[in-house]
Chain A
Amino acid sequence: AVEEKRTYIVHMAKSEMPARFEEHTYWYESSLKSVSESAEMLYTYNNVVHGFSTRLTPEEAREMETRPGILLVLPELRYQLH
């Protein structure tokens, strides 16, 4: 069965970035490509978290969580106006 993709916010430990990466965004991209060739980043975040948001299958999200330097892979939540 094809697993449906959903949006995740991937939190990364910037201090664990391997030295071979000059820019943290390259490290983010490399981490993403290691679990999904097709996935693209929706946003990269600089101030609020070290990380990015992307679309993954649940399986890819689970695999992402096991990658070095990954703190948390958080499923997207929907907020409501009050």
Chain B
Amino acid sequence: TTRTPSFLGLDQNAAMFPESETASEVIVGVLDTGVWPESPSFDDTGLGPVPSSWKGECEVGTNFTKSHCNRKLIGARYFARGYEATLGPIDETKESRSPRDDDGHGTHTSSTAAGSVVAGANLFGYAAGTARGMAPRARVAVYKVCWLGGCFSSDILAALDKAIDDNVNVLSLSLGGGMSDYYRDSVAIGAFAAMEKGILVSCSAGNAGPSAYSLSNVAPWLTTVGAGTLDRDFPAFVSLGNGKNFSGVSLYRGDSLPGKLLPFVYAGNATNVTNGNLCMTDTLIPEKVKGKIVLCDRGVNPRVQKGSVVKAAGGLGMVLTNTAANGEELVADAHLLPATAVGQTTGEAMKKYLFSDPNPTATILFEGTKVGIEPSPVVAAFSSRGPNSITPEILKPDLIAPGVNILASWSGAVGPTGLAEDSRRVGFNIISGTSMSCPHVSGLAALLKAAHPDWSPAAIRSALMTTAYTAYKNGKLLQDVSTGKPSTPFDHGAGHVDPVSALNPGLVYDLNVDDYLNFLCALNYTSAQINNLARRNFSCDARKTYSVNDLNYPSFAVSLPAKMGTTASSGGGTGSTVVKHARTVTNAGPPGTYKVSVSSSSDSVKISVEPGTLTFSQTNEKKSYTVTFSATPMPPNTNEFGRIEWSDGKYVVGSPVAISWT
């Protein structure tokens, strides 16, 4: 990626990160659509021999030989038996029966996590710069599990099984599905085994935001990553015939529009079908579109396909407007015709003009790349949100990382839009999703693993979470683009990742397999369900009291029964509910005395911590504390938030608090 290393402070603090030998011992496994091995992001110049721990392979198949692997791309496997069993043999004229990436997504994610340094990267001149993965010295192993027809759980499990055998250190999964209980979810099941072997598993939170309860991959042994923006934009302005100008974003490069205002039409008025406003295939009437700029509504079909539909109907340009589902979030695309995306408010203003002027006109001006956009980051509207629908007492997502308009390597088999009619080929593409934020965290976890080889996956996640930030440098709170208001821990988890601070977190919240087994007991899992998930006979001790609240997680989620018969506007009731959470912190730094500070968004919740001071005389020393949440009953769907911070004056160890009444 060309901007995130600087946005995350990695470029400015390169000397703080591990020397090349340690860093190149770490192996990042990526389960995705495969890899385009010819990408310069997988150049192995300067890398030493493959780590001796590596047991993996470079599998041979369609257009893929052993020589496609090297000292950077050290492993490449593919898993298609489940896919083929359901959908029949792979059509090798359409996709490669090999680790080769015909889609681009896998090449993008794996190069984001651990791609080599590539000078002169750009997409049609946009986002130009030196691209690199978050852990540019780490090795990459790809496991192709996603095909044209989807990613099948039997293949995903097989890939996770092999990745564990192969000895990867970090696993990156930018995929998800449904909201199954942990013992029925193949990603959660496979990740449990990986966690036991010391492998950190980073997963995307999903793109179902901004709705609440929209998260996937919420098991507490996973690191769940939401998405935020960068300080970079690709502005493209729309000038209307009434003299008004509106800003949008675009990655279009090609023939310009004629240097004059063109007829402007709303797609909904250039169609005979009820959903013609969406610019779906074969829904526009060419006579009403030809030679015009068309305003299309976002939704249902892919954004870039709408541009293709307008072009096929003879349109010269497109303005793509968000609806309420997306608000003001702008996602840039490399459209096949001059086109720009605009926010909902702008779109409504344009529609007002279109419906009131008998001869509406418009043109689009493309401005290229702009950096230094503020505020940034903001939480992406599409980023899935909490509360956690499986275990409300575990706050998810864990954190956010860059996931909007990310430039990274691309497959040579497909154009930047992914459309069949897009014959352009690019070395890099700019796309958005929690798929893009997840490998950022995977790569950063690889950096931490190199710096602290003895840290457990939970300790690495803790360092990333407790050092994440929730406010801009000017002190204002991180914003949610879907509301324009401050985001909450249900949106950003612990906050935005800050890898430089994560290197030295001060204290960590560690977890081992026994802790997770006790957590399963707290969920009242049967022995059979635990066996499904953890592959062992484990009986919960009937004499022991298990509590989900005591899982040593670096964040706090308190789920309380709502006061029935009330609404959010009618207020709460009297009589407090008291909930206690136990935590143990491990000193990862020098001796020191940490003092706690607590903040809460509401007087209806009291948070107290006992003891309020923790003194550590040596590294790895553990100290425990208890948090007491005292809350008055509130109407259903009320949420309040807070923060608990431990600091010795140098290190700040922060934990978000989310309290919800359901």
Contact = CB atoms under 8 A, between A and B. Distances in A.
Partners in one complex: yes
B438 A82 contact: yes
Contacts of B197: 47
A9 B153 contact: yes
Contacts of A14: 535
Contacts of A82: 174-176, 204-207, 216, 433-435, 438
Given A48-B157, A78-B153, A9 B186 contact: yes
A55 B189 contact: no
Interface string B155-197: 0111011001100000000111110100111110110111001
B146 interface: yes
Given A78-B177, A79-B177, A47 B528 contact: no
A53 B176 contact: no
6 contacts: A13-B528, A45-B157, A77-B177, A78-B177, A81-B105, A82-B204
Given A42-B81, A43-B81, 14 more contacts: A7-B86, A42-B154, A46-B165, A48-B160, A48-B190, A53-B157, A53-B158, A77-B178, A78-B152, A80-B151, A81-B32, A81-B105, A81-B174, A82-B176
B154 A81 contact: no
B532 interface: yes
Contacts of B206: 82
B153 A79 contact: yes
Nearest to A5: B85
Interface in B536-555: 537
A38 interface: no
Interface in B123-173: 146, 149-154, 156-158, 160-161, 164-165
Closest 3 A/B residue pairs (Cβ): A79-B177, A53-B154, A82-B204
Contacts of B186: 9, 74, 77, 79
Contacts of B205: 82
A82 B531 CA distance: 29
Interface of B: 32-33, 81-82, 85-86, 105, 146, 149-154, 156-158, 160-161, 164-165, 174-178, 180, 183-187, 189-190, 192-194, 197, 204-207, 216, 433-435, 438, 528, 531-532, 535, 537
Nearest to B151: A79
Interface size class of A (residues with CB under 8 A): 20 to 34
Given A48-B190, A71-B528, A79 B158 contact: no
B163 to A, nearest CB: 9
Contacts of A49: 157, 189, 193, 532, 535
A6 interface: yes
Name which of A11, A15, A42, A79 has the most chain B CB atoms within 10 A of its CB: A79
B146 A81 contact: yes
Given A76-B86, A77-B186, A46 B161 contact: yes
Given A46-B161, A48-B193, A6 B174 contact: no
Contacts of A72: 183-184, 528, 532
A9 B82 CA distance: 10
Interface in A17-70: 42-43, 45-50, 53, 55
Contacts of A71: 528, 531-532
A72 B527 CA distance: 12
A72 to B, nearest CB: 5
